[in-house]
Amino acid sequence: MNPTIKDVAQKAGVSIATVSLVINNHKRISSDTKKKVQKAIKDLNYYPSRSARDLVSKKTGNIGFILTDDHFLRTEPFYTRIFLGTEFEARDGEYYILLTTIKSDYSEKDPLPRFILDRSVDGVIVAGKIPEVLIDKLAKYNLPLIFVDYTSAKENFPVVLIDNIQGGITATNHLISYGHKNIAFIGGDINHPSINERLIGYKKALENAGINPNKKFISTTSPYPDRQNGYNSAKKIFSTQKDVTAVFACNDAMAIGVMHYLKDSGFSIPNDISIIGFDDVESDLMLDPPLTTIRVPKIELGAEALRLMINTLKYKNSNAKKILVPVELIIRKSTKSIK
Amino acid sequence: MNPTIKDVAQKAGVSIATVSLVINNHKRISSDTKKKVQKAIKDLNYYPSRSARDLVSKKTGNIGFILTDDHFLRTEPFYTRIFLGTEFEARDGEYYILLTTIKSDYSEKDPLPRFILDRSVDGVIVAGKIPEVLIDKLAKYNLPLIFVDYTSAKENFPVVLIDNIQGGITATNHLISYGHKNIAFIGGDINHPSINERLIGYKKALENAGINPNKKFISTTSPYPDRQNGYNSAKKIFSTQKDVTAVFACNDAMAIGVMHYLKDSGFSIPNDISIIGFDDVESDLMLDPPLTTIRVPKIELGAEALRLMINTLKYKNSNAKKILVPVELIIRKSTKSIK
DNA sequence: ATGAAAGCGCTAACAT
DNA sequence: ATGTTAGCGCTTTCAT
């Protein structure tokens, strides 16, 4: 049997209330008894029981983390890194993260994650795009809900987002500063806010530089922004548009697909075509040439979400804060100045 | 406030003890009151409180899942799939999985996962290779410990393993059946049991076929079985050994590296060289040609581990069961008959 | 078959 | 500054 608060109290020669006060380091406690109690705790190797604590305090100490299967199993560790960020942060904050995945095609009749139903969590973090019907169902529960890298258009929740617009501007400016004017944008479904925002940044940067965005240079018809679709989109653009000298891909996966296409078609990167991605994913470095990209601080995104959650829990802070996490230009070898 | 067992009892006109019995579907309960109570539960949308239940039953309903950072963030979703398998299985089993990562270079003085210290888990699943010192520390706690895809040589724990030897045999037999005799084995650190077992299978299959294993065809010096090391190992072998017509790589990552090297060196796959991998990872299909491989049922590995854990918990079953999960040959386009 | 009641380990209000 | 005590919501004897 593990030691309980009683054992500690007995050993330290105080009451259990005093032990409790020490554990929660209440101010009004003499440093003398504090020491005594702390010694007893250490000697007995005592840890407070979570369930007892939770039972009385009406909290669980758990945070739910919801992700679609797709996102969790994505080849590149993007959302898993975000999860890790929350986990790291949770370790200090005395929280546990309950990770669960839902089907990407979650529908009305699918059950909610069990931790919602049996109230095993104090709040829920949702990472990445999830179906709107899930958001609706989640919203009905009186639980703090925080989004990361996605947010519902309909409702107003606290959210941690990548500064995609700025990232789009930075990426495009980099290309412009290297003398490129005919810059293609290769993206996926524009209904995804992140992709749309990166496109907005791209257009803004072009306009700022006095360059008129050319619709023929822009591909946003791919359903999903992955390698294969990057390849296909590049094919479509480059087989008709001969003036393009640079590509801004909406993420690294697509950028890699674009690179494959260009190589297959005999283009040299970056001599013939410059290319910049977005995300900064591990395999970028293994590419030939290594990919210039916009770094998204994934661990930081997750950590920020958990901090936001803890604050919400602590201060019952219900105003829907939005946190924009800045991104960073990482110049490697896939872009080249043509001035 | 959420409804409690009292509310249910009141609404159903019975005592809380009866409600409890219904919840845990005790046999000696009249189907009449059972129905009454179940209706009340449904009407009130009642879910038993975890912490109250845990407090009295001295269980937590949580299972810890430990993984190294490396493994969790591996480019290919291998261990994340195993985790998912446990998570799927846990959903039915009324358990939650607490996932935490440890540093790959975990050392004596690093702290144990918090869920061990504060007893927030009923058992721990360890996936993949972890440092021996962690195993030692873990073993001191009186917690069921189950390994997946790795096991300590020193101690005897229940474990769920891939049938690597059989897989090695199957892979090599496939090559042999295609007429290959000079088959290279490209692996990583032989101290990793999985790799060693695959090598054993390779040798067994060769011997069964009356082929003498040639040491010069075997590479086991790479520290880590990844793409880059696959590339380098292939370089070493193919620059000196001209007779090799087929490669068995100890995993798909290395196989992909080997393919890159072969392409860079002007070899055609599978016309000049056949290659088979191990794992069956998503990106295999995107390769050119798609990779023939041995499929490891990752989800199943995780599910099996959780079932083993639940059994251990239920029956206090302490005998160290070993479960070997079978693998499957997946023939794609990277191997070719040369008969 | 059902109910009464004790108690799991802790927190917090109140008393001293 | 510290102790006493009443629960938190549930399971589990033990009665009935």
B51 close contact with A: CB closer than 8 A: yes
pLDDT at B94: 81
pLDDT surpassing 80 at residue B76: no
Q: How does the average pLDDT of chain A come out, rounded?
A: 91
Band of pLDDT at residue B240, cut at 50, 70 and 90: very high
Question: For chain B, what percent of residues have pLDDT higher than 70?
Answer: 99
Q: Given a cut of 90, is residue A148 above it in pLDDT? A: yes
Cβ-nearest to B120 among A50, A227, A283: A50
* Structural domains in chain A plus CATH codes: 5-57 (1.10.260.40), 62-162+299-326 (3.40.50.2300), 164-296 (3.40.50.2300)
Tell whether B49 is within 8 A of chain A (Cβ).
yes
In this complex, is the C-beta atom of A207 within 8 Å of any C-beta atom belonging to chain B?
no
- DSSP code per residue over A7-73: HHHHHHTS-HHHHHHHHTT-SSS-HHHHHHHHHHHHHHT----HHHHHHHHT---EEEEEEEHHHHH
Condensed to tens digits (0 to 9), the pLDDT of residues A243-298 reads: 999 999 999 999 999 999 999 899 999 999 999 999 998 777 778 899 999 999 99
Interface check for A288 against chain B (CB to CB < 8 A): the answer is no
Selection from A27-41, B161-175, B318-332 with the highest mean pLDDT: B161-175
DSSP for residue A282? G
DSSP for B167-203? HHHHHHHHHHHTT--SEEEEEE-TTSHHHHHHHHHHH
Q: In strand C, which positions have an atom below 7 A from any protein CB? A: 1-5, 7-13
Q: Do A55 and B60 touch (CB under 8 A)?
A: no
CB A86 within 8 A of CB A305: yes
What mean pLDDT comes out for the span A36-49? 88
Q: Is A131 on the interface with B (CB under 8 A)?
A: no
* CB B118, CB B64: distance < 8 Å: no
* Confidence tier at A205 by pLDDT (50, 70, 90): very high
Residue to substitute from B4, B45, B47, B50, interface A, most A β-carbons within 10 A: B50
Residues in CB range of A260: below 8 A, 6 or more apart? A227, A230, A231
Whether residues A118 and B50 touch (CB distance < 8 A) is answered with yes
A96/B contact by beta carbon, under 8 A: yes
Q: Is the pLDDT of residue A28 over 80?
A: no
Mean pLDDT of A131-145: 91
pLDDT at B72 (0 to 100): 85
pLDDT attached to residue B207? 97
Q: How confident is the model at residue A317 (pLDDT cuts 50, 70, 90)?
A: low
Task: Tell me: pLDDT of B268 over 70.
Answer: yes
Burial status of residue B143 (CB atoms within 10 A of its CB: 0-12, 13-18, 19 or more): middle
Q: pLDDT, tens digit, for every residue of A112-130?
A: 898 888 788 999 999 999 9
- Separation in Å, CA of A119 to nearest CA in chain B: 7
Beta strands in A141-211 (DSSP E): 145-148, 159-162, 183-188
* B96/A120 CB distance under 8 A: yes
Mean pLDDT of A55-75: 88
* CA of residue B34 to C1' of nucleotide D11, angstroms: 18
d(CA A328, CA A86): 21
For residue A189 the two structure tokens come to 């479904």
Q: Select the residue of A47, A73, A76 nearest B117 (Cβ to Cβ).
A: A47
A228 touching B, CB under 8 A? yes
Whole-number pLDDT of residue B313: 87
Could you report the per-residue pLDDT of A100-113, keeping only the tens digit for each?
999 999 999 998 89
Of A35-39, A44-48, A318-322, B158-162, the poorest mean pLDDT is in: A318-322
Residue A229: band (very low, low, confident or very high) from pLDDT cuts 50, 70, 90: very high
Q: Pick out the nucleotide with least CA–C1' distance to B16.
A: C3
Euclidean distance between CA atoms B107 and A149, whole angstroms: 35
The count of CB pairs under 8 A between chains A and B is: 100
Contact A95/A115 with Cβ under 8 angstroms? no
| Neighbouring residues of A257: CB distance < 8 A, sequence distance ≥ 6 | A226, A227, A228, A229, A230, A231, A232, A233, A234, A249
pTM: 0.86
Nearest DNA or RNA nucleotide to B57 (CA to C1'): D11
Residue nearest to nucleotide D3 (CA to C1'): A15
Q: B162-216: per-residue pLDDT in tens?
A: 999 999 999 999 999 999 999 999 998 888 889 999 999 999 999 999 999 999 9
Please tell me whether any atom of strand D lies within 7 Å of the Cβ of B52: yes
pLDDT greater than 80 at residue B226: yes
Chain B CB contacts of A81 below 8 Å: 73
